[in-house]
Structure 1
Amino acid sequence: MDIRRAKQIYESSSTIGVQLEGEPVWIESVDEANGMATVQVGGTPQNTHTVSVDRLVEDKG
């Protein structure tokens, strides 16, 4: 995924599925300057990771 699309998903009022290595994630923030996103893995608020947006994949379903 590119940084522009990650930002669009983050700002969207719709629920858009995103995965990190096959696991569903929720984008919590996007750092455009560094190409990074903080994501929540699964439904666990304590399980967050900061990853490069190019590791994220949008669900196409």
Structure 2
Amino acid sequence: MLKFVKNHMESITGIEIYPIISLLIFFIFFVVLFYWVITAKKDYITTVSNLPLDNENDTLL
């Protein structure tokens, strides 16, 4: 099965760029996420972390 897929993929021209693109998207996403976590303000992190425990805005339908 893998031999069939490998032979089929080798016949497609220009397919070698897709793994590089997916690796770049993956890497850039996590670099941006890491930057956002490092630069996030302490007040924002505290507010967001307390949201599940905040009972003031709970409404029953």
Task: Give the TM-score of the pair, scaled to structure 1.
Answer: 0.22
- Bigger proportion of residues as helix: 2
Kindly indicate which of the two structures has a greater share of residues assigned to strand: 1
Which has the higher relative contact order, 1 or 2, with Cα contacts under 8 A spaced 6 or more apart?
1
Which structure has the larger Rg?
2
